[in-house]
């Protein structure tokens, strides 16, 4: 157990986030956003803004900044503002006012007059269902729709009709925003070496690529820095509008520019999570063996169709069944764009699927855990490759014992004025790795450094780098300095897809082995302390002939301040041999007040099979955050979109997030089976799985407590009226 290395800096205010950088001569930019949801800008009157004291310049589609649409292998094209006069949603960035102070820029921005040619806007997912389009393939390239049918079965409908017990229902989930604590922001400065941008993101090397492409400049002259990131969750994967505009304005004005989105702007000028509508049908035998699974999903999508939340996609991975049909549709809407958000697809999809499984358990009068175990899968449906390791049964067994599941009754219990229910759900998240390079340096003062570009948006990756580095070099973690969040470092360690530890960790092991080889070659080279001897390495020391020297002593003896190696690792052959996923069992206890109908989650437990856990402290923290997010999705979060596309609750007063009073008793447990079939360090990633299934577990517990099945989230008091 190792405390977060950057924790003291963060809690004492010494950690400097992007917008904490202040540079001599810096100007401040404030963005202007649209007040219609669909149409074209006819004119923008910036006369008043330009004559406001302190204003330096005003940019708009009529007076644009020098930017073009960047494209990267990771994300494809990323939208950049002010390139045309088209309005696709209410709150879209359409201008930037730059002034001597933040307040001057903000005041001037309020005076910008905009006239529009307005067109009808489609802002409701339900209204848009009839114009849904087929979604493109999922993130992993697999088709967005598929049918797998047993021999002799002609359609999924036939398989459902032939099933003795069938449940079928429609579920829906709300539009969400990541609402990271740190608003999207950037400080940009150009000098003779090029551009430096300080801006929170999920991979500084990727941010540098996007900025270089958008600014039409060499990648080598863009330096992206994000030593600290105040939460990201997918919402800082792509480069923000703040960073694009700050960089472009700083180039034009030849002075540093800072742009910080207001909290309200974060809700519209960045992308969030899609709303979904999902239809699930499950057919089973009378003893609970699944015969057919059908999952059709519709997700809201931006009008440029740049992202689709794949809500039905992961359903093929959960259970064994002879017949499966999944489909994914997208519904382009005039609302703020959608993007990756913690467990994109799995979070929303598991609400529908795992609610439906609970409904089936009720229909069968069967324990929901027993039903799940009866249909345990050994591989994704339609795929021959078995899971590299799966201990979901153990997660449920341990979880049930720890949580007191045996005390659950089919209709809950009462405790004074509270109706108390227990709920459970399965969690799954694919185990993924991305290519990563890490530099490991040994220094003559006896310390080592582990460095990769990446980011630690609160995940604990920085601490993990030091731990894996220490283990690979066989030295105490205190001797290892981890470096992250700078595009000048070797590319790797992106914080997305729950890949950071597995990707960077594998590369660290390779780099460490290489630098140790170098050290041994140095140690036995002519004139060196172990010249001509057979040398070995252990515990940070070079050994031969009964003598030992630490690597620091050795480097000093040969007069080398430091040596380093860059190790790289990528996913490869293992993908042809196994399927890889993490698994978990979510439990929660909900109390619904008999009279007020408020729902309170009183206890939660998540038990996870996620391979080797590198650092129990930060891992637990990641999972707790995810589980709380599941509660939040179930009971609090949801953007209310007015007919004209305006978000009615785009601030932290109206967009409900759980506070301490909403959360009590979160218990996390890992069953630890290192997955060395997936990667050499055996870790599978835990960033996202904590949230998967939890919203369903809450809804299932509410049903257990009250008998009321709510098929949409967030669940409101009015949904629970008797
Ligand atoms: Mo995150 S949704 O893994 O960027």
Q: What is the DSSP letter of 275?
A: P
User: Which is the closest atom of ligand 1 to the Cα of 496?
Assistant: 3
Cα of 232 vs centre of ligand 1, distance in Å, is: 8
Q: How many residues does the chain have?
A: 722
What's the half-sphere exposure (Cβ side, CA atoms, 13 Å) at 582?
Answer: 37
In the predicted structure, residue 227 carries a pLDDT above the cut 90: no
For residues 195 and 256, what is the distance between their CA atoms, to the nearest angstrom?
10
Cα of 177 vs centre of ligand 1, distance in Å, is: 13
User: Which is the closest atom of ligand 1 to the Cα of 202?
Assistant: 4
Alpha carbon separation from 546 to 517, 532, 556 (Å, rounded): 19, 15, 20
In the predicted structure, residue 165 carries a pLDDT above the cut 90: yes
Q: How confident is the model at residue 493 (pLDDT cuts 50, 70, 90)?
A: confident
**Mean pLDDT, to the nearest integer, of 194-201?**
98
From 74, 140, 342, mutation site for ligand 1 pocket: most ligand atoms within 8 A of C-beta: 342
For residues 303 and 38, what is the distance between their CA atoms, to the nearest angstrom?
10
CB of 454 within 6 A of ligand 1: the answer is no
Determine the pLDDT at residue 511.
Answer: 98
Residue 498, both tokens = 């729950």
Q: Please write the tens of the pLDDT for every residue from 383-429.
A: 999 999 999 999 999 999 999 999 999 999 999 999 999 999 999 99
Residues sharing a CB contact under 8 Å with residue 13, sequence separation 6 or more, in sequence order: none
CB of 234 within 6 A of ligand 1: the answer is yes
Q: Please write the tens of the pLDDT for every residue from 532-589.
A: 999 999 999 999 989 999 999 999 999 999 999 999 999 999 999 999 999 999 999 9
Reference 278, options 343, 354, 349, 175; nearest CA is 349
CB of 237 within 6 A of ligand 1: the answer is yes
Peptide bond into 336 cis (omega under 30): no
Residues sharing a CB contact under 8 Å with residue 151, sequence separation 6 or more, in sequence order: none
Determine the pLDDT at residue 498.
Answer: 96
Residue 378, both tokens = 């050994």
Reference 722, options 701, 711, 704, 708; nearest CA is 708
From 458, 493, 496, mutation site for ligand 1 pocket: most ligand atoms within 8 A of C-beta: 496
**Mean pLDDT, to the nearest integer, of 454-476?**
96
From 200, 206, 233, 270, mutation site for ligand 1 pocket: most ligand atoms within 8 A of C-beta: 233
Strands 436-443 and 418-430: unpaired
CB of 342 within 6 A of ligand 1: the answer is yes
In the predicted structure, residue 44 carries a pLDDT above the cut 80: yes
Cα of 537 vs centre of ligand 1, distance in Å, is: 39
CB of 235 within 6 A of ligand 1: the answer is no
Active site positions, annotated: 688
Determine the pLDDT at residue 446.
Answer: 98
Alpha carbon separation from 375 to 116, 164, 392, 586, 644 (Å, rounded): 56, 16, 11, 17, 46
| pTM check: above 0.85 | yes
Tell me the Cα Rg of the chain.
27
CB of 457 within 6 A of ligand 1: the answer is no
- Work out the percent of the chain whose per-residue pLDDT is above 70: 100
**Mean pLDDT, to the nearest integer, of 21-48?**
98
- Check residue 164 and give left, alpha or beta (phi > 0: left; psi -120 to 50: alpha): alpha
- Work out the percent of the chain whose per-residue pLDDT is above 90: 97
From 177, 200, 234, mutation site for ligand 1 pocket: most ligand atoms within 8 A of C-beta: 234
CB of 496 within 6 A of ligand 1: the answer is yes
What value does the mean pLDDT of the chain take?
97
**Mean pLDDT, to the nearest integer, of 283-301?**
98
Q: How confident is the model at residue 142 (pLDDT cuts 50, 70, 90)?
A: confident
In the predicted structure, residue 140 carries a pLDDT above the cut 90: no
Q: How confident is the model at residue 141 (pLDDT cuts 50, 70, 90)?
A: confident
Determine the pLDDT at residue 194.
Answer: 97
CB of 567 within 6 A of ligand 1: the answer is no
Q: Please write the tens of the pLDDT for every residue from 373-385.
A: 999 999 999 999 9
User: Which is the closest atom of ligand 1 to the Cα of 688?
Assistant: 3
In DSSP terms, 168 is beta-bridged to 281
**Mean pLDDT, to the nearest integer, of 318-331?**
97
In the predicted structure, residue 1 carries a pLDDT above the cut 80: no
**Mean pLDDT, to the nearest integer, of 11-39?**
97
Contact 503, 433 (CB under 8 A): yes
For residues 439 and 510, what is the distance between their CA atoms, to the nearest angstrom?
10
Determine the pLDDT at residue 321.
Answer: 96
Q: Please write the tens of the pLDDT for every residue from 234-262.
A: 999 999 999 999 999 999 999 999 999 99
Residues sharing a CB contact under 8 Å with residue 416, sequence separation 6 or more, in sequence order: none
User: Which is the closest atom of ligand 1 to the Cα of 235?
Assistant: 4
CB of 95 within 6 A of ligand 1: the answer is no
Residue 137, both tokens = 């393939």
CA quadruple 543, 549, 551, 553: dihedral, nearest 10 = -160
């Amino acid at each position: 157990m190792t405390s977060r290395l950057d924790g003291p800096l963060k809690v004492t205010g010494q950690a400097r986030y992007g917008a904490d950088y202040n540079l001599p001569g810096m100007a401040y930019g404030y963005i202007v956003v649209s007040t219609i949801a669909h149409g074209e800008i006819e004119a923008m009157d910036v006369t008043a803004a330009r004559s406001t004291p302190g204003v330096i310049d005003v940019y708009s589609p009529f007076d644009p900044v020098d930017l073009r649409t960047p494209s990267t292998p990771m994300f494809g094209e990323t939208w950049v503002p002010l390139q045309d006069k088209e309005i696709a949603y209410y709150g879209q960035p359409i201008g930037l006012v730059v002034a001597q102070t933040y307040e001057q820029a903000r005041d001037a921005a309020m005076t910008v007059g905009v006239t529009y040619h307005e067109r009808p806007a489609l802002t409701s997912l339900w209204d848009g269902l009839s114009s849904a389009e087929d979604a493109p393939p999922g993130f992993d390239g697999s088709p967005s729709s598929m049918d797998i049918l047993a021999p002799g079965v002609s359609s999924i409908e036939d398989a459902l009709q032939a099933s003795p017990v069938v449940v079928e229902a429609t579920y829906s989930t709300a539009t969400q925003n990541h609402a990271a604590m740190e608003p999207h922001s950037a400080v940009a400065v150009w000098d003779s070496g090029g551009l430096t941008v300080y801006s929170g993101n999920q991979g500084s090397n990727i941010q540098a690529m996007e900025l270089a492409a958008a600014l039409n400049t060499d990648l080598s002259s863009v330096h992206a820095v994000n030593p600290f990131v105040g939460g990201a969750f997918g919402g800082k994967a792509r480069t923000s509008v703040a960073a694009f505009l700050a960089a472009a304005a700083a180039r034009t004005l030849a002075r540093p520019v800072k742009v910080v989105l207001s909290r309200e702007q974060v809700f519209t000028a960045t992308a969030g999570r899609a709303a979904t509508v999902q239809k699930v049908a499950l057919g089973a035998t009378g003893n609970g063996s699944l015969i057919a699974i059908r999952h059709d999903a519709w997700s809201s999508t931006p009008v440029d169709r740049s992202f689709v939340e794949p809500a039905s996609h992961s359903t093929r991975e959960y259970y064994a069944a002879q017949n499966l049909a999944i489909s994914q549709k997208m519904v382009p809407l005039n609302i703020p764009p959608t993007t990756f958000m913690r467990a994109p697809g799995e979070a929303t999809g598991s609400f529908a699927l795992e609610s439906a499984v609970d409904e089936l358990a009720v229909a069968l009068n069967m324990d929901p855990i027993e039903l799940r175990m009866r249909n345990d899968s050994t591989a994704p449906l339609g795929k021959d490759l078995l899971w590299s390791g799966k201990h979901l049964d153990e997660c449920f067994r341990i979880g049930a014992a720890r949580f007191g599941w045996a005390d659950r009754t089919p209709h809950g219990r009462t405790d004074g004025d509270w109706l108390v229910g227990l709920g459970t759900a399965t969690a799954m998240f694919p185990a993924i790795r991305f290519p990563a390079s890490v530099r490991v340096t040994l220094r003559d003062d006896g310390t080592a450094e582990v460095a990769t570009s990446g980011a630690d948006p609160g995940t604990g990756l920085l601490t993990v780098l030091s731990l894996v580095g220490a283990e690979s070099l066989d030295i105490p973690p205190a001797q290892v300095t981890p470096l992250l969040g700078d595009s000048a470092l070797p590319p790797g360690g992106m914080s997305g897809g729950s890949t950071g530890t597995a990707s960077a960790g594998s590369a660290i092991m390779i780099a460490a082995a290489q630098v140790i080889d170098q050290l041994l070659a140095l140690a036995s080279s002519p004139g060196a302390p172990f010249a001509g001897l057979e040398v070995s390495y252990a515990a940070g020391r070079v050994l031969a002939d009964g003598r030992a020297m630490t690597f620091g002593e050795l480097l000093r003896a040969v007069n080398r301040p430091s040596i380093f190696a860059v190790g790289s690792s990528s996913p490869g052959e293992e993908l042809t041999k196994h399927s890889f996923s993490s698994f978990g069992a979510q439990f929660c206890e909900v109390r619904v007040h008999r009279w007020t109908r408020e729902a309170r989650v009183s206890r939660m437990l998540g038990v996870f099979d996620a391979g080797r856990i590198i650092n129990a402290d930060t891992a637990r923290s990641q999972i707790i955050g995810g589980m709380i997010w599941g509660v939040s999705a179930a009971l609090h979060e949801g953007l209310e979109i007015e007919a004209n596309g305006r978000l009615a609750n785009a601030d932290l007063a109206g967009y409900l997030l759980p506070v301490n009073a909403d959360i009590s008793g979160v218990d996390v447990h890992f069953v630890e089976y290192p997955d060395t079939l997936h990667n050499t360090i055996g870790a599978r990633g835990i960033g996202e799985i904590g949230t998967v299934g939890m919203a369903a577990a809450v809804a299932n517990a509410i049903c257990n407590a009250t008998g009321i099945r709510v098929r949409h989230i967030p669940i409101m008091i009015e949904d629970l009226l008797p």
